[in-house]
Structure 1
Amino acid sequence: MLQVSQRGRAMPLSPYRRLTPYAEAAKARGLHVYHLNIGQPDIETPPAMLAAVQQADIRVLEYSHGAGNPSYRRKLAAYYQRADIDVTPEEIIVTTGGSEAILFAMLSCLNPGDEVLVPEPYYGAYTAFSIAAGVTLVPVLSHIETGFALPPLAELEAHVTDRTRAVLICNPNNPTGYVYSHAELEQLLDLCLRHDLYLLSDEAYREFCYDAPYVSALHLGTATHEHVILLDTISKRYSACGARLGALVTKNQAVRDAAFRFAQMRISPPGLAQLLGEAAADLPETYFDHTKAEYQARRDQLVARLQAMPGVVCPRPGGAFYVLCRLPVDDAARFSQWLLEDFDYQGQTLIMSPAVGFYATPGAGLDEVRLAYVLNIPALNAAMDCLEHALQVYPGRRNQEDKRLFAGS
């Protein structure tokens, strides 16, 4: 009997798209659904980026260079240098989205059966990439009570085995919005140096740090050069998710050579997207002033609304555009589906991402959800009106004392 592969059977559904069919059915019934489930910003893609493609004089859309067009890599290197990340164009491999950068890093740094330490909760797609690469993610729990700070170094080190080859972080973090401090990154680097591990650093949200400066893993000095693999994308910072343009950046020549061979296997990254990317790199640094201020205002409003709801526990995220909060419900996945199947408030409802999809530890995150504040403030307020009312009438609401941790934070 024909069967799909073990990898195919093990590949999980997307934790942020899992409930999309229910949202589509709700819309078909006439409901307005507020999408807080996925990091798709409503902020306009910079017109100069789109114009670069529209005005391009192209007669033949050729393959691009396997590592990315030299002109784009030069401009991308200049962008990193403005962020005090000292890299050259030759130390950049352009990828088809940040997703490919993560996959290339795993394929280049790890063998099948190797282990990767990752603070949990973590970006749900990491599980899919690890399955594709044949490696094992080893989660180390962070906790909502500490705002999802990095687990203690001793706890991370306790999970190191003779098969551990890397630590994987997302900074600022998706799904929690936590921003790792310079001290926490130094601790991670120390762990990697002592155990000869790679540090895979996903930095897709670097422009959106609200309460403390952004610190890259490549800011930590020359000791990082052989260990750090920076993973990146233009999707979030320029609201260009559909461009599918990312980068793998490292000073480790051997890793870069391996990643380039994988890059040659898929021929080349998208050529039109690199025109977008070049135009993005030419935008003035003041471009981010408005977008960062807008996301910070959305964060403040969303957190204020959530912290005012009885029974909701919500730390204040320091970056990205996500909130991970605990709800007073029996099961957040069941509640999220109920919102789309059985609930409406004035003809409206919302879709969220149940947090269980961002955990690997059994039982973790069952009463938590991730919300993406990618909608404007009036839409966020309308969505929170829906959520507040839903929590009052949901049949599976937990009766408990109001534990409003982080109030006023």
Structure 2
Amino acid sequence: MPKISHKGQHMPASPIRKLSPFAEKAKLEGKKVYHLNIGQPDIETPEGMLNAVKNIDFKVWAYTASEGTLPYRKKLTEYYNKLNYNISPENIIVTTGGSEAITIAMSACLDPGDEVIIPEPFYANYNGFACQSDVVVKPILSYIENGFALPPISEFEKLITDKTKAIIICNPNNPTGYLYSAEEMQALKELVLKHDLYLFSDEAYREFCYDGRTFTSPMHLSGLDDNVIVMDTVSKRYSACGARLGCLITKNTEVLKAALKFAQARLSPGMVEQIAGEAAVDTPDAYFEIVNKEYTHRRDVLVNALNQMEGVYCPNPGGAFYVVAQLPIDNADKFCQWMLESFSYENQTVMMAPATGFYSTAGAGLNEVRMAYVLNTNDLQAAMTCLEQALKIYPGRVINGQPIIAGVQN
């Protein structure tokens, strides 16, 4: 039988989705599964976006321009310029989800063997996209003890070689929820200019900043026009994950020319999605105010519940809708599978994402999980009750480095 490719063998499985078969089996057994593993909000999609789809009237479902329709790119320009990005429609390439924006950016800017530095834990699919592009990820650890703040610039400097081509950030961060400060962004600016690097900025969670904190994009910083590639999506902003609509933004004309060739190779983004996207830009600010308030409340419910559990630590994130929590367990992958396969409390259980898949450093995140607070507060509270009960009886429970069995320290 022909063998699969070396790349196929080394493509990492998604920590977000790899346990889905166990979740489906649990449901078949009659268990209610609380899905905290994936960033699929239960917030309603804006009515204007849905109505735009319902009212579509065309005779031919045709290709669009490879860079996206001009009407949609003009509407996107309105949105971004309201945020002081100072761009034109020519600076935008519409993509099939934020994922394609990332893969096109990598393909346009990076050669096989080039190195990218990414603070970890990071969005798990960066590993997969790098594998597809034969790019080498050079991780730089951030730590739960300080809320996963940006590592010191001196640590970045240690990793830079003649193969280093880019730094990738996700701000606010997935999976940690950390929101980079203006000072941290300024430090990154100075670093990429010093070493002539690209700065890829994944801004999927831009709207979700809490406690009065503000979002700083590298697009707000002067002197970076040739360095910055923004990768964005409507998935989280408008609770429209299934639309698969994103974009790549840059003022670097050479990158745009190269990116367009990759966009042409996949033909075009969807017509219906862009019609919905046009309408989405007119979503009133009141929608985001309500959503922000709701996520802030959900965050508080989740973080408070976690930090009240024995042996659990969870920093309070400044943005996005995720937390990474440290649990008193031996192995996050084993624990998350055990929760679905062997545990239930009042016929309920919880699906989480093992944090190991959000690291590139071997052995990192072994006792950490990522949870998305995308469920209503009643479900979040029920999920936390399940988790607390599970931790009491998990066979691989660990406190202060010592195995615990049924509450008795060995």
TM-score by length of structure 2 reads 0.97
2:89 equivalent in structure 1? 89
- The whole-number CA distance in structure 2 between the counterparts of 1:358 and 1:401 is 23
Write out per-residue CA displacement over residues 106-146 of structure 1, whole angstroms, 9 at most, x where no aligned residue. Answer: 00111111000000100000011111111111000000011
The residue type equivalent to 1:323 in the other structure is V
1:218 equivalent in structure 2? 219
DSSP 3-state at the match of 1:126: helix
Instruction: Give the drift of 1:8.
Output: 1.1
Instruction: Give the drift of 1:326.
Output: 0.3
The residue type equivalent to 2:216 in the other structure is V
- The whole-number CA distance in structure 2 between the counterparts of 1:393 and 1:251 is 55
Q: Which runs of 5+ in 1 are unaligned?
A: 403-409
The 5-angstrom pairing of residues 40-55 of structure 1 reads 40-55=40-55
- The whole-number CA distance in structure 2 between the counterparts of 1:282 and 1:238 is 11
Q: Does 2:366 match 1:398? A: no
- The whole-number CA distance in structure 1 between the counterparts of 2:401 and 2:338 is 23
Q: Which runs of 5+ in 2 are unaligned?
A: 403-410
2:100 equivalent in structure 1? 100
- The whole-number CA distance in structure 2 between the counterparts of 1:149 and 1:128 is 24
1:263 equivalent in structure 2? 263
Identity among equivalent pairs (%): 57
Write out per-residue CA displacement over residues 147-171 of structure 1, whole angstroms, 9 at most, x where no aligned residue. Answer: 0000100001100011000000000
2:407 equivalent in structure 1? none
- Assess, with a 3 A threshold, how the Cα gap between structure 1 residues 305 and 401 changes in structure 2: closer, same or farther: farther
CA contact (8 A) 1:150 1:184 kept: yes
Instruction: Give the drift of 1:83.
Output: 1.3
DSSP 3-state at the match of 1:119: strand
CA contact (8 A) 1:311 1:401 kept: no
Please provide the CA RMSD for this pair.
Answer: 1.0
Question: Number of matched residues?
Answer: 401
The 5-angstrom pairing of residues 134-173 of structure 1 reads 134-173=134-173
2:408 equivalent in structure 1? none
The residue type equivalent to 2:272 in the other structure is L
The 5-angstrom pairing of residues 158-197 of structure 1 reads 158-197=158-197
- The whole-number CA distance in structure 1 between the counterparts of 2:138 and 2:8 is 20
The residue type equivalent to 2:326 in the other structure is R
DSSP 3-state at the match of 1:362: coil
Structure 1 outlier segments of 4+, above 4 Å: none
TM-score by length of structure 1 reads 0.97
1:407 equivalent in structure 2? none
2:8 equivalent in structure 1? 8
Instruction: Give the drift of 1:285.
Output: 2.1
The residue type equivalent to 1:330 in the other structure is D
The 5-angstrom pairing of residues 51-130 of structure 1 reads 51-130=51-130
- The whole-number CA distance in structure 2 between the counterparts of 1:288 and 1:86 is 22
Q: Does 2:38 match 1:38? A: yes
Instruction: Give the drift of 1:401.
Output: 8.8
- The whole-number CA distance in structure 1 between the counterparts of 2:330 and 2:114 is 36
DSSP 3-state at the match of 2:399: coil
The residue type equivalent to 1:187 in the other structure is A
- The whole-number CA distance in structure 2 between the counterparts of 1:130 and 1:362 is 17
The 5-angstrom pairing of residues 214-253 of structure 1 reads 214-221=215-222, 223-253=223-253
